[in-house]
């Protein structure tokens, strides 16, 4: 099986949850990883210590608010300063919360579009020259609700639909040097808010595999797209337990 030894992956929003699982997966396959975080410094430092205990000087940290686009070139530059190269960009950072139409605010719209669409675009822009030099790849964290709308989440769904098209557009823009793909999770680590419980139960009931997926399910799909999918670009892989079969 191919190894990622000697490769460097930058993952946004990767101190916790799916991002952390993905960092562990890429690291276990041999890659050095750079964990970006905004506020989760303690989680990021704990993950860094865990991975560096496995392999010395194999995990690095960068901090920054992706909603401020001016931070993005610095995040990439600091990655290069610490590692000397960049082979993989995983645009994982995301905001997710309901925005019913009658209460949707411009600030909420800007936040959801900014985190889920604008930041991945400008991360790709900043990383592109380095990924072209290394014949690298980009993985975007899309969502099945970028394909099928979720009631009450209009701004989020629009942002993820845009990210799906961004994935395809970047694949055309950056080919043949850089592959660009995405994963679209279904019910994975549903936010722990009581008002979402009934919706969560309903979604699981309408999922072919009748269960919630795990962060590791997403991490394995990302590892496949990074390591084993050399002839795949411009695709978004649903990892949803069959949720899209019965919307």
Q: Are 45 and 61 in contact (CB under 8 A)?
A: yes
Q: Which two tokens stand for residue 104?
A: 């949707």
CA 9, 86, 185 angle in degrees (round to 5)? 35
Which residues are CB-contacts of 101 (< 8 A; sequence separation ≥ 6)? 154
Give the CA count within 13 Å in the CB-facing half-sphere of 170: 32
List residues with catalytic annotation: 156
Q: How far apart are CA 60 and CA 121, in angstroms?
A: 23
Answer whether the bond into residue 240 is a cis peptide, omega within 30°: no
Helix pair 215-223, 17-28: axis angle to 10 deg: 40
Q: How far apart are CA 15 and CA 190, in angstroms?
A: 17
Give the residue from 187, 150, 245 showing the smallest Cα distance to 18. 187
């Amino acid at each position: 099986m191919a190894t990622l030894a000697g490769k460097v992956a930058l993952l946004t929003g990767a101190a916790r949850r799916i991002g952390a699982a993905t960092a562990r997966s890429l690291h276990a396959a041999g890659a050095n990883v750079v964990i970006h975080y905004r506020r989760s410094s303690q989680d990021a430092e704990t993950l860094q210590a865990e991975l560096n205990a496995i392999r010395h000087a194999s995990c690095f940290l960068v901090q920054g608010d992706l909603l401020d686009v001016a931070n993005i070139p610095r995040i990439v530059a600091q990655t290069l300063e610490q590692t000397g190269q960049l082979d993989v960009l995983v645009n994982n950072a995301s905001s997710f919360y309901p925005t019913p139409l009658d209460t949707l605010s411009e600030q909420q719209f800007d936040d959801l579009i900014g985190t889920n669409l604008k930041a991945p675009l400008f991360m790709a822009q900043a990383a592109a020259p380095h990924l072209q030099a290394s014949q690298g790849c980009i993985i975007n964290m899309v969502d099945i609700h970028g394909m099928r709308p979720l009631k009450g989440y209009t701004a989020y769904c629009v942002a993820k639909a845009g990210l799906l098209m961004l994935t395809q557009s970047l694949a055309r823009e950056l080919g043949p040097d850089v592959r660009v793909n995405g994963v679209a999770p279904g019910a994975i680590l549903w936010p722990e808010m009581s008002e979402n419980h009934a919706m969560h139960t309903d979604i699981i009931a309408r999922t072919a595999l009748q269960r919630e997926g795990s962060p590791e399910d997403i991490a394995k799909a990302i590892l496949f797209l990074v390591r084993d999918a050399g002839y795949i670009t411009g695709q978004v892989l649903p990892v949803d337990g069959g949720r899209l079969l019965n919307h």
